[in-house]
A and B are shown apart, each in its own frame.
Chain A
Amino acid sequence: MNKSKRSMTRRERVVAALDHKEPDCVPLSMSITINAYDNLKHYLGMDLEEDLNPGRWTEVPIHPLVAERFGLDVIWLPIGKAHKKPRQSDDPNKWYDEWGVEWTKIPLINGGYYNEMTCPPLEDATVQDLEDFDWPDPFDPGIVEGVREYYRHIHNDTEFAILTRFGGAVFEQAWYLRGMEKFLLDLVENSEFVEALLTKIGKIQMALNGVLIEAAGEYVDILRLSGEDMGTQENPIISLLMFRRMVRPHLEKLWAYAKEKLLKKNQNAKIMLHSCGAVSPFLPDWIDMKIDVLDPIQPKAKGMDPFELKAAFGDKLTFHGGIDAQYVLPFGTTEEVREHTRKYIKALAPGGGYICAPVHNVQGDVPPENLVVMRDAVEEFGYYPINL
């Protein structure tokens, strides 16, 4: 990468973009699954021994040396693991997360594996059962262990902007616990249960945000408050009316608390919502709820045209994402990846407010060559002033 044209540090570049100011170049961010990460390291010729512990979605943190070599401006940092061990499974391919959700390692046809939820623990629960459920403890000391030191190290000793998730989702966590179909039906026929469940989850996520912001908030540039997926390929999952009535109050409380607490630690920090799919009808509400950054701008979902989104919301939202994972990255040609990246820079980058990134944890079917083409396209087209 030709660094000579760059006049800002990686973090300065990200901070400017988040501030809706034009940096020297469009910043680059990425999250990745273990299969794709191994392929990428191999492709970059990096022989790095790492003790990787993939998350729920088989995603792994990218080592700063890999991030540096590849050319990322944003680095995703993990949090600690609770000391209390989750329930163990006798089946070596199954495991439980801290919420008691059962996951299974499913082999993929072209190699590697993916973790899939296979048993929601609250499928048959009543409101009363929620009181007796073994909820995760947000105050478990393991969760903050080493976090402050590591975040400070990355902040002080590297140039990366730090992106992290502390407390996670509420709406989406509810389907993991209840089962998606059951939870969607609950929204129509069992609002009392929905309210009780979202309240329980919201309290835990809020406490997690609290303890982790306290531990390392000053080092965080972007706090991701989710994945709160609210869209399918074609439509929002739920109506705007239902969102406002049943979901918004819970998210509003959680987001407001996180933002207020985070800004006290770092006045430049931003909060980011990740929500897949066709979510454009929700954007005015999310802006009203003080979201700063929207991820991932899923290109193939309906109503997510980047030019239209930039025109309508670009003064209020920074966009993070845009690089298609449903066709372009896994199956696209070099030229398609280059052209797609160019299009998203053209649409979203003018005036700042854009961090280029794949729309999803990069999966094992994405050729590392395509990631490099994406990066090179940022280098080719991403210098300000954008003139495409």
Chain B
Amino acid sequence: MKMEELVKAVIEGNAPFVSRLVVQGLDEGLEATTILSEGLTPGMSTVGELFHQGKYFLPEMLYSAKAMTGGLEHLEPILSTSGSNSLATVVIGTVKGDLHDIGKNIVGMIMKGAGFNVVDLGVDVPTERFVEVIYEKNAAILALSALLTTTMPSMQETIGVVAKSGIKDRVKVLIGGAPITSKFADEIGADGYAEDAPKAVTKAKELLKLS
């Protein structure tokens, strides 16, 4: 299996080919971590750049993310048993009252592609649930999304509950969504803000000093 072919297949969103190449790579004895870090991750990273440059839009990015996710499914059983695999665990969800999840889903997929272990709690997530799962999964990043101004207070509430439960020093909180700004992130005590999915990956790595 040629790694550059896998990278290219992710960029083109060719799901069947991505899957085939990943399986072939494993058959040839390549490490799952190598296939992820040298194939899927750089592929999605390029997709992120193309999105930033205005050459890819949401449909193309979703198409590539779907292809990447298909490839990742072959690697996940191996990665989860081998232990030291992911960069860190990210717990992600839309905050209480907010059901708009496309942005959150894309961030989740792109973070997976970048090598994070992503625990997606879905939409309209009660604040306590975030805290439970951060404990349970020993998460290093809490990523919160809101589309509506009326649900932005839920972000603040979630951060308050995280702080009260004494785990604020263990987890970095990253927030995003259409009305969110870095000023708002500062105001509510979040550790970072990202304007889109590729930036969320960069920011998460920065917060964890991984880059």
A residues adjacent to B (C-beta < 8 A): 104, 106-110, 112, 114, 116-118, 180-181, 184-185, 187-189, 232-239, 242, 300, 325-327, 330-331, 363-365
Contacts and interface: CB of A to CB of B under 8 A. Distances in A.
Interface of B: 13, 51, 54, 57-60, 62-63, 66, 96-97, 99-100, 102, 105, 124, 148-151, 153-154, 157, 178-179, 181, 195-196
Contacts of B151: 108-109
A232 B178 contact: yes
Contact of B58 (A106, A237, A364): A237
Nearest to B55: A239
B57 A181 contact: no
A236 B51 CA distance: 11
Given A118-B99, A234-B196, A326-B178, A108 B150 contact: yes
Contacts of B99: 104, 106, 116-118
22 contacts: A109-B96, A109-B151, A112-B150, A114-B97, A118-B99, A184-B58, A184-B59, A184-B62, A185-B59, A185-B63, A185-B66, A188-B59, A189-B63, A235-B51, A239-B57, A242-B59, A327-B149, A327-B179, A327-B181, A363-B149, A363-B150, A365-B149
B45 to A, nearest CB: 18
Given A180-B102, A188-B13, A364 B57 contact: no
Contact of A188 (B60, B96, B181, B196): B60
10 pairs of A and B residues whose beta carbons are closest in the complex: A326-B179, A116-B99, A188-B63, A187-B59, A184-B59, A233-B178, A330-B149, A188-B59, A365-B150, A108-B150
A114 B57 CA distance: 29
Given A110-B153, A181-B105, A184-B62, 5 more contacts: A106-B124, A109-B96, A109-B154, A188-B59, A325-B149
B66 to A, nearest CB: 7
A242 B153 CA distance: 37
A117 to B, nearest CB: 8
Contact of A181 (B51, B102, B157): B102
B11 to A, nearest CB: 13
Contacts of A239: 57, 60
Nearest to A243: B57
Contacts of B62: 181, 184-185, 188
Contacts of B179: 300, 326-327
Nearest to B101: A181
B200 to A, nearest CB: 13
Q: Which of B57, B96, B105, B195 has the most CB of A within 10 A?
A: B57
Q: Which of B51, B62, B100 has the most CB of A within 10 A?
A: B62
A235 B54 CA distance: 7
